């Protein structure tokens, strides 16, 4: 990673919302104001308890399975109310407390300057030697990343709202025209590489200009995405093709959510037949455990799973070569997933996982290539769509 | 005061039986044949045939004269012990002067002077010229000397190695001049031969307080410093006798003073009669022979403690005789029956008011004076009984300061205020120290070893009869009762030490903690200023104040009921604990050779005032000294 150089892109972008007049800029300003207020509140609380000789603290909602609840009516994961209190006057927390305040201060700087930084950039921004010692505020980035996540949840503000973004991953192509920071992006003319989905896909940055597509096909990884793109699948089927590089980053999820919510497009997922693929689907659909507090802005409860299915080995008459034996870890993970509250009541899913476990092997989407190079684009997916054969 | 006739009956018998094995001299073989067949009566008769002095002259290692170095120490030890005993019995605060003069490479002259009541002229020859002549053997009373062997044996050793008589100068009365006597011992007769008997005017100057005794013995010896040296012996004597002032002139002509730190004499120990359960059959038979009582019932009541008329009757009844049986009719068989009856009958434990422990406060004063540490604690157990003999255990601990941190703890042992320097590993007290689980008190202790750390463990046993493993009085015999009491006392002190060490650890943690907080507070204050606009300096100061308060709070401990316990205050209030702040210790001299640095004539800062123990006993008018 090009260390600090990652600043470049955001600087370019960040100027636009401020300079471009219109609704998006106002939205940004309002949102920033709100975020700044939240940071202020945090600071004030610390100052208040400090001056009152009380132990200053920050409450950080816990990001664990036990503290996530499945909201059945909304069909998304929500964060519970359990929070961990981070105190200054506690030996094991003192440093983290200091780091939290430091990052809050850093985010305030960013917002006021109207600029954004990557996680790594943020690490460098807050990095300095503590006065009178030779100890640094952070030992490495792995220390600052979780603290920033803590700050997000405790402020109840998204990372984007704090003007921090993660490394971007994910590609889009299809019958849609976007506006990204004022630049018009025609996703029909993205060549073989596609347009890379920015890590911040908030309406202030990305707006949808024109969309003819009828649905979104999300695939797990780039190999398959390229296959579809090369076969002009989005053209023949009038859709949008997205890819999230495995576990989709926030930007991709946020974009999927907006495509679904704002444009009413159904989302179909083509993922591997293994616990990992199942979990990716679950993340797109209900939200992730780690970011449960953001589910309502990211989850697509109506997303459908079109494949690969455990039965496809027989249905598509695949060769033995595509079988990948399930490891012990896969088996435990599959069992865990089967017991998640959002899977447990779904008979088809229970059967699917059972079948995979009974098979004793997993399959990747790429395995369809063994049939024919374009089998997946020309036969498999069109067939599933036509039969409306998905898992929900 | 009894004569020699009866005196040696018990003691030499046991000693000889011990000596029997290594030697094959005709004499000891004779002893053997005698022993296996003889009755107590014949035994007592035959024994007069060899002189005790002859026996001990040949077996002087039994008395602690095995090698020149030990001989020199034993001589001083016996003389100092006697001097202390004499002073205390005379109700005088001991002021002891010890001089070791090196005359040749292996020739020394030992002078020990006290300010005690002195010795009347007629007694001098007996006291210094006869073995097993003394006041202490026949009574059960806590005293340093027990058998009446020590000082005459030292004189005998001097005579044998140098041919020089013992010089005694004694002034028993303020108004009479001091008399000077030179005495030689006739070992074959076990009696003294007076070489000279003079009165010198200038001798009176030796005793500015009016009375006192000086002993001068010339002997072959070897002077070495370090462990088991004269210096160590006197240092430890000073610890156990804080009421004594000791002046010591070394062979190098250096004067070291161990100043008095308690201005009160210990209470005078009471004499008690033996407890029936504490005697052996042999002793019982001897007592039957010697008793003035005519009938067994009277004998039991008069010659023992804790036996009343009904108990006497019960014992006699159990033994198959009556309390009106004539003592002279009691033969060996009856005696044995009587002995068995005593074991069977329930008896009250002996009185324990005969014991005078050093007392935790005096003990602390002694330790403070003698050991440069930072933490001191002492504990005195209630009296207990072994084999019918009452005893009492005291333990003192000194920790930290200038004591060597990397070595195993040092155990200093005392019996009736006398330091025991030899045969440590044989001693009951040493085993008790091994037994205690020091790990519970924040000290590391390798398996089967003494604890590690800057620790001095002092153990004192006070008893009317200290069970030594040998006549040279070097180690306390390992009785379960004694070991148990020692362990309990060690645990009591250990707990306090543990509390202190935990507190010290917490204090270290606290300062670490404070520095961690202080480090981060500034950052937090700066960031908060940027976020809220509150003045960082003001915030920093508020937080710093809180950090200090909190770290101090963390030092407090909660007791079982959740109340805040102020341990510092509790330890400080504890009268059995003294803490000398660490910074007062001299770091330059850290831990090297405590043997050398044990004492310091300079007064200690922050020394706790020692007790004013009520001196309720009425001082008996100065008696003629019962020495030995």
- Model pLDDT for residues A336-361, shown as the tens digit of each residue: 888 888 888 889 999 999 999 998 89
A222 Cβ contact list (under 8 Å, min separation 6): A171, A243, A245
- On whether the CB atoms of residues A105 and A64 are closer than 8 A, the answer is no
Tokens of A149: 């996540």
pLDDT value at residue B567: 55
* HEC string for B587-604: HHHCCCCHHHHCCCCCCC
Chain B residues lying within 8 Å of A57, measured CB to CB: none
CB contact under 8 A, A50 and B532: no
C-alpha span between A306 and A387 (Å, rounded) = 10
Place of tokens 């602690």: B64
Q: How many CB atoms lie within 10 A of CB B576?
A: 18
For residues B130 and B156, give the distance between their C-alpha atoms in angstroms, rounded to a whole number. Answer: 9
Distance, in Å, from the CA atom of A107 to the CA atom of A109, rounded to the nearest integer, reads 5
SS3 for B433-460 is: HHHCCHHHHCCCCCCCCCCECCEEEEEE
Helices B480-532, B536-554: inter-axial angle, 10-degree rounding: 170
The pLDDT, as a whole number, for residue A256 is 92
* C-alpha to C-alpha distance for B529 and B523, rounded to whole angstroms: 10
Most A CBs within 10 A among B524, B525, B536, B537, hence the mutation to make, goes to: B524
The rounded distance, in Å, linking the Cα atoms of B61 and B400 is 38
Choose, from A124, A195, A279, A313, the residue flagged as catalytic.
A124
Comparing CA positions, the residue from B365, B369, B391 lying closest to residue B378 is B365
Pairing of strands B166-171, B375-380: unpaired
Burial annotation A108-128 (CB, 10 A radius, 16+ → b, else e): bbbbeeebbbbbbbbbbbbbe
Does the CB of A249 have a partner CB in chain B at under 8 Å? no
Q: Is A124 one of the annotated active-site residues of the chain?
A: yes
Of A40, A44, A102, the CB nearest to B527: A102
Q: In chain A, which residues have their Cβ closer than 8 Å to the Cβ of B506?
A: none
A54–chain B nearest CA distance, Å: 8
Contact between chains at A42 and B549 (C-beta distance less than 8 A): no
* Residue from B363, B358, B263, B367 nearest B580 by CA: B367
- In 3D space, the residue among B233, B293, B530 whose CA is nearest the CA of residue A101 turns out to be B530
Chain A residue with CA closest to B549: the answer is: A53
User: Does residue A300 sit at the B interface (CB-CB below 8 Å)?
Assistant: no
C-alpha distances (whole Å) from B436 to each of A305, B46, B439, B488, B505 are 71, 48, 9, 9, 22
Q: What is the mean pLDDT of residues A29-45?
A: 87
d(C-alpha B127, C-alpha B124), whole Å: 5
pLDDT surpasses 60 at A6: no
Assigned token pair, B531:
């976020």
Q: Among all residues of chain A, which has the CA nearest to that of B545?
A: A53
Q: Which residues pair with A208 in a beta bridge?
A: A178
Contact of A108 with chain B, judged by CB distance below 8 Å, is answered with yes
- Cβ contact B165:B184 at 8 Å: yes
**Contacts with B, A 25-84, CB within 8 Å:** 39-40, 42-44, 46-47, 50-51, 53-56
Q: Which residues of A touch B524 (CB under 8 A)?
A: 46, 56, 88, 97-98, 101
* pLDDT at res. B363: 87
In angstroms, the CA A76 to CA B516 distance is 42
Chain A residues touching residue B527 (CB < 8 angstroms): 43, 98, 101-102, 104-105
Bridge partners (DSSP) of residue B458 are B396, B412
Q: Where are the domains of chain A?
A: 3-55+90-165, 171-387
Contacts of B532 in chain A (CB under 8 A): 40, 43-44, 47
The Cα–Cα gap between A89 and A50 comes to 11
Extract the tokens encoding B515. 């520095």
CATH of domain A171-387: 3.40.1360.10
Model ipTM? 0.71
What SS3 string covers chain A? Answer: CCHHHHHHHHHHHHHHHHHCCCHHHHHHHHHHHHHHHHHHHHHHHHHHHHHCCCCCEEEEECCCHHHEEEECCCCEEEECCCEEEEECCCCCCHHHHHHHHHHHHHHHHHHHHCCCEEHHHHHHHCCCECCCCCCECCCCHHHHHHHHHHHHHHHCCCCHHHCEECCCCCEEEECEEEEECCEEEECCCCCCCCEECCCCCCCCCEEEEEECCCEEEEECCHHHHHHHHHCCHHHHCCEEEEECCCCCCHHHHHHHHHHHHHHCCCEEEECCECHHHHHHHHHHHHCCCCCHHHHHHHCCCCCEEEECCCCHHHHCCCCHHHCEECCHHHHHHHHHHHHCHHHHCCHHHHHHHHHHHHHCEEECHHHHHHCCCCHHHHHHHHHHHHHCCCEC
pLDDT at B35: 52
Contacts within 8 Å (CB) and 24+ apart, B283-291: B283/B10, B284/B335, B284/B338, B284/B339, B284/B342, B285/B40, B285/B41, B285/B332, B285/B335, B286/B6, B286/B9, B286/B10, B286/B40, B286/B44, B288/B327, B288/B330, B288/B335, B289/B40, B289/B41, B289/B44, B290/B6, B291/B327
Long-range contacts of B136-139 (CB under 8 A, 24+ apart): B136/B85, B136/B626, B136/B628, B137/B7, B137/B11, B138/B2, B138/B7, B139/B271
Mean pLDDT, chain A, rounded, equals 84
Q: What is the pLDDT of residue A181?
A: 86
Are residues B549 and A105, on separate chains, in Cβ contact within 8 Å? no
pLDDT of residue B482: 92
Say whether residue A97 is in contact with chain B using an 8 A CB cutoff: yes
pLDDT digits (tens, 9 = 90+) for B124-161: 877 777 766 655 555 667 777 666 667 888 888 888 88
Class of domain A3-55+90-165 as given by CATH:
mainly alpha
Place of tokens 């009250």: B348
Sequence-separated (6 or more) residues with CB below 8 Å from residue B119: B127, B168, B170, B172, B213, B624, B625, B627
**Nearest beta carbon to residue B519 from set A39, A101, A135:** A135
Cβ–Cβ below 8 Å for B534 and A133? no
B566 CA: distance to closest CA in chain A (Å): 21
**pLDDT band at A24, cuts 50/70/90?**
low
pLDDT tens column, A74-91: 888 888 888 888 888 887
Per-residue confidence at B485, pLDDT binned at 50, 70, 90?
very high
SS3 B345: coil
A262 has a pLDDT exceeding 70: yes
Nearest CA in chain B to A52: B542
Question: Is the Cβ–Cβ distance between B213 and B124 less than 8 Å?
Answer: no
Instruction: Enumerate chain B positions whose Cβ falls within 8 A of a Cβ in A.
Output: 513, 516-517, 519-524, 526-528, 530-532, 534, 538-539, 542-543, 545-547, 549-550
Chain B nearest-CA distance from A16, in A, is 26
Strand partners, A179: A184, A207
For strands B212-220 and B166-171, give the pairing: antiparallel
| Contact: B524, A46; criterion CB under 8 Å | yes
Give the pLDDT of residue A119. 87
Residue pair A86/A57 in contact by the 8 Å Cβ criterion:
yes
Shared fold status for A3-55+90-165 and A171-387: no
pLDDT computed for residue B465 by the predictor: 83
CA distances from B358 to B415, B442, B493 (A): 11, 28, 16
What is the per-residue pLDDT for B274?
Answer: 83
Residue A245 C-alpha, separation from nearest chain B C-alpha, in angstroms = 37
Judge whether residue B585 has pLDDT over 60: no
Q: Judge: B532–A47 Cβ closer than 8 Å, yes or no.
A: yes
Tell whether the model's pLDDT for residue A218 goes beyond 90: yes
Q: A133 contacts in B (CB within 8 Å)?
A: 519
Average pLDDT of the segment spanning A47-59: 87
Chain B positions in Cβ-Cβ contact with residue A55 (cut-off 8 Å): 546, 550
Mean pLDDT, to the nearest integer, of A54-65? 85
pLDDT band, residue B444 (cuts 50/70/90): confident
* pLDDT at B100 > cutoff 90: yes
User: Is A102 within 8 Å of B523 when comparing Cβ atoms?
Assistant: yes
pLDDT value, residue B8: 41
* Section A179-190 average pLDDT: 90
pLDDT at residue B479 is higher than 60: yes
* pLDDT attached to residue A290: 76
A140 confidence band (pLDDT: 50, 70, 90): confident
How confident is the model over A60-83, as a mean pLDDT? 82
A 121-150 residues with CB below 8 A of B?
A: 130-133, 135, 137
**Looking at residues B190-216, what average pLDDT do you find?**
83
**In contact, B521 and B544? CB cutoff 8 Å:** yes
Structure confidence by residue, pLDDT tens digits, B56-88: 777 777 777 888 888 898 889 888 988 888 888
Count of CB atoms situated within 10 Å of the CB of B459: 25
Residue found under tokens 């004597």: B237
Ramachandran category for residue B15: left, alpha or beta (phi over 0 → left; psi -120 to 50 → alpha): alpha
Q: Please answer whether residues A216 and A267 qualify as being in contact, where contact means their C-beta atoms are separated by less than 8 angstroms.
A: yes
Closest-CA distance, B405 to chain A, in angstroms, reads 30
Which domains does chain B carry?
7-13+16-22+24-50 (no CATH), 58-258 (3.30.565.10), 276-344 (1.10.8.50), 355-599 (3.30.230.10)
If you average pLDDT over residues B298-302, what whole number do you get? Answer: 89
Residue B555 confidence (pLDDT): 52
Whether residue A187 is predicted with pLDDT greater than 50 in this model: the reply is: yes
In angstroms, the separation between the Cα of residue A107 and the nearest Cα of chain B is 10
Q: What is the pTM of this model?
A: 0.55
On chain A, the residues whose CB falls within 8 A of the CB of B542 are: 50-51, 53
| Contact (CB, 8 A) for B43 and B13 | yes
Using a CB-CB distance cutoff of 8 angstroms, which residues of chain B are in contact with residue A53? 542, 545-546, 549
What's chain B's average pLDDT? 78
Beta bridge partners of residue A83, listed in sequence order: A61
Alpha-helix residue ranges (DSSP H) falling in B345-376: 360-370
pLDDT, greater one: B614 or B40: B40
Q: Is-cis flag, bond preceding A354, omega within 30?
A: no
- Distance (Å, rounded) from C-alpha A384 to C-alpha A392? 13
Residue A130 to residues A150, B223, B257, B476, B539, Cα–Cα distance (Å):
22, 62, 56, 62, 17
Whose tokens are 């799973």? That residue is A305
Query: Which chain A residues contact residue B552 at CB under 8 A?
Result: none
* Contact at CB, B549 and A53, closer than 8 angstroms: yes
Helix (H) or strand (E) holding B489: helix B480-532
Among B209, B151, B150, B212, residue whose Cα is nearest residue B179: B212
């Amino acid at each position: 990673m090009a260390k600090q150089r990652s600043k470049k892109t955001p600087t370019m972008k960040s100027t636009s919302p401020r300079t471009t007049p219109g609704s998006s800029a106002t939205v940004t300003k309002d949102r920033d104001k709100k975020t700044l207020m939240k940071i202020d509140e945090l600071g004030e609380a610390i100052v208040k308890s400090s001056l009152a000789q009380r132990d200053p603290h920050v409450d950080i909602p816990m990001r664990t399975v036990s503290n996530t609840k499945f909201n059945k009516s909304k069909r998304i994961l929500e964060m519970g109310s359990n929070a961990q209190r981070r105190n200054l006057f506690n030996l094991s927390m003192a440093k983290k407390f200091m780091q939290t305040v430091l990052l809050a201060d850093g985010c305030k700087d960013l917002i006021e300057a109207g600029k954004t930084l990557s996680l790594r950039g943020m690490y460098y921004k807050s990095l300095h030697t503590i006065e009178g010692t030779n100890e640094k505020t952070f030992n490495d980035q792995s220390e600052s990343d979780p603290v920033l996540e803590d700050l997000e949840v405790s402020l109840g503000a998204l990372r984007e709202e704090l003007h921090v973004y993660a490394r971007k991953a994910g590609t889009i192509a299809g019958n849609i025209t976007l506006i990204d920071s004022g630049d018009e992006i025609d996703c029909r003319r993205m060549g073989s590489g596609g347009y890379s989905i920015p890590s911040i896909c908030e309406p202030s940055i990305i707006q949808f200009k024109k969309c003819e597509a009828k649905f979104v096909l999300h695939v797990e990884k780039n190999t398959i995405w390229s296959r579809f793109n090369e076969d002009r699948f989005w053209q023949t089927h009038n859709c949008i093709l997205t890819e999230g590089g495995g576990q989709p980053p926030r930007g991709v999820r946020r974009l999927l959510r907006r495509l679904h919510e704002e444009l009413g497009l159904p989302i179909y997922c083509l993922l591997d037949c293994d616990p990992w693929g199942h979990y990716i689907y679950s993340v797109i659909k209900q939200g992730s455990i780690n970011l449960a507090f953001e589910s309502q802005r990211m989850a697509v409860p109506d997303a459908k799973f079109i494949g690969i299915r455990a039965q496809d080995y027989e249905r598509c008459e695949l060769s033995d070569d595509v079988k990948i034996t399930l490891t012990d870890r896969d088996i435990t993970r599959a069992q865990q997933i089967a017991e998640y509250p959002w899977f447990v009541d779904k008979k088809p899913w229970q059967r699917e996982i059972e079948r995979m476990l009974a098979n004793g092997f997993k399959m990747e989407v790429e395995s369809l290539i063994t049939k024919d190079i374009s089998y997946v684009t020309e036969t498999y997916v069109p067939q599933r769509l036509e039969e409306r054969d998905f898992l929900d | 005061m009894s004569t020699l006739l009866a005196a040696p009956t018990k003691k030499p018998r046991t000693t000889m039986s011990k000596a029997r094995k290594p030697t094959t001299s005709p004499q000891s073989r004779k002893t053997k044949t005698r022993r296996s067949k003889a009755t107590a009566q014949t035994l007592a008769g035959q024994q007069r045939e060899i002189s005790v002095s002859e026996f001990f002259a040949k077996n002087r290692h039994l008395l602690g004269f095995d090698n020149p170095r030990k001989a020199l120490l034993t001589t001083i030890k016996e003389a100092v012990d006697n001097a202390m005993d004499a002073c205390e019995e005379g109700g005088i605060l001991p002021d002891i002067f010890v001089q070791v003069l090196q005359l040749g490479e292996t020739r020394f002259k030992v002078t020990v002077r006290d300010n005690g009541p002195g010795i009347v002229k007629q007694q001098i020859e007996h006291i210094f010229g006869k073995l097993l002549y003394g006041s202490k053997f026949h009574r059960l009373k806590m005293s340093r000397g027990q058998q009446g062997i020590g000082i005459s044996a030292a004189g005998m050793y001097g005579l044998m190695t140098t041919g020089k008589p013992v010089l005694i100068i004694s002034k028993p009365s303020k108004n009479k001049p001091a008399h000077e006597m030179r005495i030689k011992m006739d070992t074959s007769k076990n009696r003294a031969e007076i070489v000279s008997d003079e009165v010198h005017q200038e001798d009176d100057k030796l005793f500015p307080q009016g009375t006192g005794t000086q002993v001068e013995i010339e002997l072959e010896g070897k002077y070495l410093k370090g462990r088991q040296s004269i210096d160590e012996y006197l240092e430890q004597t000073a610890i156990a006798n804080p009421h004594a002032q000791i002046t010591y002139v070394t062979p190098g002509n250096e004067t070291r003073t161990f100043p008095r730190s308690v201005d009160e004499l210990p209470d005078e120990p009471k004499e008690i009669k033996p407890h029936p359960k504490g005697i052996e059959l042999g002793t019982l038979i001897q007592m039957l022979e010697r008793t003035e009582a005519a009938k067994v019932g009277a004998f039991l009541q008069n010659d023992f403690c804790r036996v009343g008329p009904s108990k006497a009757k019960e014992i006699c009844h159990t033994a198959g005789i009556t309390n009106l049986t004539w003592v002279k009719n009691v033969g060996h068989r009856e005696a044995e029956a009587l002995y068995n009856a005593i074991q069977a009958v329930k008896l009250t434990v002996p009185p324990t008011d005969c014991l005078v422990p050093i007392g935790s406060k005096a003990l602390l004063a002694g330790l403070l004076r003698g050991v440069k540490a930072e933490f001191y604690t002492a504990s005195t157990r209630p009296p207990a009984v072994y084999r019918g003999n009452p005893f009492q255990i005291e333990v003192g601990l000194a920790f930290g300061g200038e004591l060597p941190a990397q070595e195993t703890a040092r155990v200093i042992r005392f019996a009736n205020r006398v330091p025991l320097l030899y045969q440590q590993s044989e001693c009951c007290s040493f085993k008790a120290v091994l037994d205690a689980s020091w790990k519970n008190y924040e000290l590391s202790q390798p398996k089967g070893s003494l604890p590690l750390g800057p620790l001095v463990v002092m153990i004192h046993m006070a008893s009317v009869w200290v069970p030594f493993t040998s006549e040279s009085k070097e180690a306390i015999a390992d009785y379960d009762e004694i070991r148990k009491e020692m362990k309990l006392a060690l645990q009591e002190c250990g707990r306090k030490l543990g509390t202190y060490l935990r507190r010290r650890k917490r204090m270290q943690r606290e300062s670490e903690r404070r520095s961690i907080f202080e480090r981060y507070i500034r950052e937090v204050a700066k960031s908060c200023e940027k976020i809220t606009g509150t003045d960082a300096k003001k915030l920093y100061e508020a937080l710093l104040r809180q950090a200090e308060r909190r770290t101090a709070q963390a030092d407090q401990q909660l007791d079982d009921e959740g109340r805040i316990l102020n341990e510092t205050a509790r330890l400080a209030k504890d009268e059995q604990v003294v803490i000398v702040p660490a910074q007062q210790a001299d770091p330059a001299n850290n831990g090297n050779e405590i043997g050398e640095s044990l004492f310091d004539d300079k007064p200690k800062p922050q020394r706790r005032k020692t007790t004013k123990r009520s001196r309720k006993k009425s001082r008996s008018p100065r008696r003629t000294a019962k020495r030995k």
